[in-house]
Amino acid sequence: MTLNPATDLLTRARTWLAEDPDPDTRAELSALLAAAECGDGTGSEDECRSWSRLSERFSGTLQFGTAGLRGEMGAGPMRMNRAVVIRAAAGLAAYVKRGGAHGLVVIGYDARHKSYDFARDTAAVMVGAGLNAALLPGPLPTPVLAFAVRHLGAAAGVMVTASHNPPRDNGYKVYLSGDLKGSQIVPPHDAGIAAEIDAVRSLNDVPLATDGWDVLAEAEILEPYLSRAASVVDPHTPRDLSVVYTPLHGVGRDTLLSAFKRAGFPTPSTVTAQGDPDPDFPTVSFPNPEEPGAMDLAFRTAASLGPDIVVANDPDADRLAVAVPAHGTATGWRMLRGDEVGALLATHLVSKRAEGTFATTIVSSSLLSRIAAAAGLPYAETLTGFKWISRAEGLRYGYEEALGYCVDPEAVRDKDGISAALSIAELAAGLKESGRTLADLLDDLALTHGLHATDQLSVRVADLKLIGNAMARLREQPPRALAGLRVDSAEDLEQGSADLPPTDGLRYRLSGDAVSSARVVVRPSGTEPKLKCYLEVVVPVASGDVLNAARERATALLESIKRDLSAAAGI
């Protein structure tokens, strides 16, 4: 007999409720069920709202992919909760064992709501499955977990974090050893783990240990991480640098301050109101240093202290933001783009005679390729995300425009906002001793390689169908010109190539008299409900006298491209 949709929904919700191990989500789901069971979804406004909320939570399952899991917390299979995490952990445990690994699974967590619960549940599942498990000694940055996987020779690692997502979200990031060398999962591993998760029919089938996992001591993992992070800077380089720092209510503060002390730098001045971990992120509307307003308190602190630079980590401290003095602006400071910091760090590593591949993504600036070519170093371009950058052959340095930098891939096969902060501090201190700044070095790069100006058009949507519609429209009717620049090629990245696996994205290459080259990449975000468009124009610079004019020309072109692209995509 076929159940009607309302009866089927109630049955699935009751079944889920019976297995849910968390009293908080049980209470949430019980309230929704009580309201929905009073009618059939066609009654009062309050009743219909309850049906809608219930239906939304049971419209499918939160999908496990190359970003692991990430989503809003709450009851039901479409939310992040203990039941979903236990299933994910059971799938991961089965996948690890199927691959023949019976070693350690190390588990980290940040300070978000439920992060510790999710980490503890993961440990209970691993031990119940016959694997060894160890928790990090407390809420710590994601790069400490990535370090731990390689340092301890673990079979796998799990980091419970939603990174820079809103307070209501949480996530579950997976690292594997073997062919991935302790980096984040990529296909086919994501599909393999997802299949094992789908095979979990009932939480009653998942053995949960009540104890038996280890809790690592700081001396076992945090001390080795700090020593390695401090080693990225030369002990004989200058250390005179004043820094204002904000962890944006995340878990980066104590680790970053300890790393700076160990490396011999003066202690950064922390933005007091944002120093302690706080899962509600009370002083920011969105805990991402790239978002408008997120750095306001840091700039106010800097206005009173007058530091050389301002730096920030995102809440799990795998990303780094850098700001430099900018006289005449409203705040007196200018946030450097991720591409600018990426180029600065690359230039710094070249000056230190780094050897190996320099890698970035298809949405990042092409300036890195020119820096690498000038230094005679291999260069690689990957799909978006550090899970791809970390797989570049012979990787020595990698970065992505979204404020992620890997300066020591042998230790952390992922982006690391702590060691990157030490590297940028070393560079800034060395420049300061010579009477120069990070901004001066960026000018040098523009004179040498041309002004590489980048920008983004990012559209957040409530309905994911709007993203699909925009991508379909661009595929069916690709623009012929943007900002007066010719579109020389329109490449559908879903087709893949010899250099890149297939991905949902479009890449346009443009040309015109005003630029040396230009590029646009359009893709759906992998972690947020956004359509993201990445723009770059390269403007030739004959001398320092025309640098400001080149910047104005580039800014005007980027703004015009955004307008024309919005019209073409219908967004």
Report d(CA 360, CA 372) in Å as an integer.
11
pLDDT of residue 65: 77
Mean of the per-residue pLDDT values of the chain: 93
Report d(CA 79, CA 76) in Å as an integer.
6
Please identify which of the residues 50, 163, 242, 419 carries the catalytic annotation.
163
Q: What is the pLDDT of residues 293-310, one digit of tens each?
A: 999 999 999 999 999 999
Q: What is the DSSP string of 466-493?
A: HHHHHHHHHHHS--SEETTEEEEEEEEG
Least confident of 84-88, 151-155, 519-523, 565-569: 565-569
Given the structure tokens 């009851």, which residue do they identify? 75
Structural contact between residues 105 and 158, judged by C-beta atoms closer than 8 angstroms: yes
Q: What is the pLDDT of residues 59-118, one digit of tens each?
A: 889 988 777 899 999 999 999 999 999 999 999 999 999 988 778 999 999 999 999 999
CATH architecture of 450-569: 2-Layer Sandwich (3.30)
Query: Which numeric CATH code is attached to 62-216?
Result: 3.40.120.10
pLDDT of residue 1: 42
Structure tokens at 465: 């169908």
**Secondary structure in 3-state letters for 120-179:** HHHHHHHHHCCCEEEECCCCCCHHHHHHHHHHCCCCEEEEECCCCCCCCEEEEEEEECHH
pLDDT of residue 45: 57
Report d(CA 571, CA 459) in Å as an integer.
8
Confidence class of residue 528 from pLDDT cuts 50, 70 and 90? confident
pLDDT of residue 152: 97
pLDDT of residue 38: 65
One-letter amino acid of 289: P
**How far does Cα 468 stand from its chain's mean position?**
22
Structural contact between residues 54 and 32, judged by C-beta atoms closer than 8 angstroms: yes
Q: Which residues of the chain does CATH 3.40.120.10 include?
A: 62-216, 217-447
pLDDT of residue 25: 97
Report the 10 Å Cβ neighbour count for 124: 21
**Secondary structure in 3-state letters for 80-119:** ECHHHHHHHHHHHHHHHHHCCCCCEEEEEECCCCCHHHHH
Name the helix (H) or strand (E) containing 22. Answer: none
Class of the CATH-defined domain 217-447: alpha beta
Integer-rounded Cα Rg, in Å, for the chain is: 24
Cα four-point dihedral sign 526, 528, 533, 535: negative
Confidence class of residue 495 from pLDDT cuts 50, 70 and 90? confident
- 142-151 and 218-230 helices, crossing angle to 10°: 100
Least confident of 52-66, 275-289, 369-383: 52-66
Is 227 among the catalytic positions? no
Beta bridge partners of 311: 245, 322
Residue 567 pLDDT exceeds 60: yes
Q: What is the pLDDT of residues 431-476, one digit of tens each?
A: 999 999 999 999 999 999 999 999 999 888 878 888 989 999 999 9
**Residue 29: closest CA among 9, 5, 8:** 9
Residue 41 pLDDT exceeds 60: no
Residue 40 pLDDT exceeds 60: no
**Residue 87: closest CA among 117, 111, 64, 60:** 64
- Kindly report whether the global pTM for this prediction surpasses the value 0.95: no
**Residue 126: closest CA among 92, 159, 160, 98:** 92
Confidence class of residue 46 from pLDDT cuts 50, 70 and 90? low
Structural contact between residues 159 and 316, judged by C-beta atoms closer than 8 angstroms: yes
pLDDT of residue 473: 93
> Any idea what DSSP says for residue 360?
E
Residue 4 pLDDT exceeds 70: no
**Residue 196: closest CA among 273, 103, 95:** 95
Structural contact between residues 93 and 131, judged by C-beta atoms closer than 8 angstroms: yes
Given the structure tokens 């950058």, which residue do they identify? 389
Least confident of 90-99, 137-146, 204-213, 458-467: 458-467
DSSP β-ladder status, 404-406 and 481-482 = unpaired
**Residue 328: closest CA among 548, 508, 84:** 548
Residue 252 pLDDT exceeds 50: yes
Q: What is the pLDDT of residues 548-561, one digit of tens each?
A: 999 999 999 999 99
